[in-house]
């Protein structure tokens, strides 16, 4: 099913490696190319996330208002989402696009690159796993694999911690707890992943963190301000409920 994508990723990596003369560096360059291509889409996703945050209280109002009328609630929710071009998946699209590349790279390292390739001999086998290198008993040789595994967890943790700074109370605490759990979970998964896949993820996540610190916050603030201004200038809709006219009682003579 994924053979066509594996072929494309391998061909691109081969071309980059013919210039870079190193498979590990080629993976890093591949990440940079993909990230640059996805930058416009990432900007749109960030704006979509910002708009969702602004619109969320309005959705909550609808849920509270029509809590006892599920059919009316569904109608109003669909109307509201259509009017405001609400797209809950907009912020996830860049990640969803990258996931097939992530899995295709696994196959490329395992089946296509001779001996798995290396990263300047710091990581002698990009197809090797942290678990396998640690099991060899040579801690010095396993150290680079363990470092990129640790980064696999840390770079999963940092974005959520940065986001939680904008939250307060129980919500911030919940986000931090979830982030720590996910970081540990990723380390457990990464124990059996090829080093080249971890290198790809670490580079991509490092880019995302830098982007979040220097770019994403500004884009979100601007998008929120624009959405709030749009809502403020939108005409106010009045929900008029017509009462049933009742016949006036007649006086008895």
Q: Is 237 left (phi over 0), alpha (psi -120 to 50) or beta?
A: beta
Give a yes or no: residue 20 inside a domain.
yes
Give pLDDT < 70 ranges for the chain. Answer: 1, 84-93, 166-169, 220, 223-224, 227, 230-231, 234-253
The whole-number pLDDT of residue 238 equals 43
| Residues 6+ positions from 16 with CB-CB distance below 8 Å | 26, 29, 30
Give a yes or no: residue 78 inside a domain.
no
The CA-atom distances, in angstroms, between 38 and each of 30, 43, 220, 229 are 12, 9, 17, 28
Give a yes or no: residue 26 inside a domain.
yes
In a 13 Å sphere around the CA of 119, the CA atoms on its Cβ side amount to 22
Q: Which two tokens stand for residue 184?
A: 């540990």
Nearest partner of 196 among 140, 134, 114, 116, judged by Cα: 116
Give a yes or no: residue 157 inside a domain.
no
Name the pTM for this structure: 0.78
3-state helix, strand and coil shares in percent for the chain, rounded to the nearest 5 = 75, 0, 25
The overall average pLDDT reported for the chain is 81
The whole-number pLDDT of residue 200 equals 94
Provide the domain count of the chain: 1
Give a yes or no: residue 40 inside a domain.
yes
The whole-number pLDDT of residue 166 equals 63
Give CA torsion, residues 195, 200, 203, 206, to 10 deg.
Answer: -100
CA distance 216 to 246: 59
Give a yes or no: residue 42 inside a domain.
yes
Give the residue numbers spanning the domain of 39: 3-55+90-128+194-233
| Residues 6+ positions from 4 with CB-CB distance below 8 Å | none
Give a yes or no: residue 154 inside a domain.
no
Give a yes or no: residue 137 inside a domain.
no
The whole-number pLDDT of residue 74 equals 83
Give CA torsion, residues 105, 107, 111, 113, to 10 deg.
Answer: 0
């Amino acid at each position: 099913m994924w053979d066509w994508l594996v072929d494309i990723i391998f061909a691109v990596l081969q071309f980059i490696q013919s210039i870079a003369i190193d498979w590990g560096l080629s993976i890093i360059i591949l990440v940079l190319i993909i990230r640059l291509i996805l930058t416009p889409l990432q900007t749109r996703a960030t704006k979509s996330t910002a708009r969702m945050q602004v619109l969320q209280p309005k959705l909550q109002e609808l849920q509270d208002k029509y809590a006892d009328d599920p059919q009316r609630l569904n109608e109003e929710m669909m109307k509201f989402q259509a009017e405001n071009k609400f797209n809950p998946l907009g912020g996830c699209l860049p990640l969803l696009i990258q996931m097939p590349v992530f899995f295709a790279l696994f196959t490329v390292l395992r089946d296509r690159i001779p001996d798995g390739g290396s990263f300047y001999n710091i990581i002698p086998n990009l197809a090797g796993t942290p678990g396998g290198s640690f099991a060899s008993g040579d801690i010095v040789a396993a150290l680079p694999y363990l470092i990129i595994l640790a980064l696999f967890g840390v770079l999963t943790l940092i974005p959520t911690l940065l986001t939680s700074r904008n939250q307060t109370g129980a919500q911030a605490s919940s986000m931090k707890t979830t982030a720590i759990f996910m970081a540990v979970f990723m380390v457990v998964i990464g124990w059996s992943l090829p080093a080249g896949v971890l290198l790809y993820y670490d580079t991509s996540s490092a880019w995302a963190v830098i982007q979040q610190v220097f770019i994403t916050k500004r884009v979100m603030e601007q998008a929120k301000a624009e959405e709030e201004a749009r809502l403020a200038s939108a005409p106010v809709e009045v929900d008029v409920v017509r009462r049933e006219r009742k016949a006036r009682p007649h006086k008895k003579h």
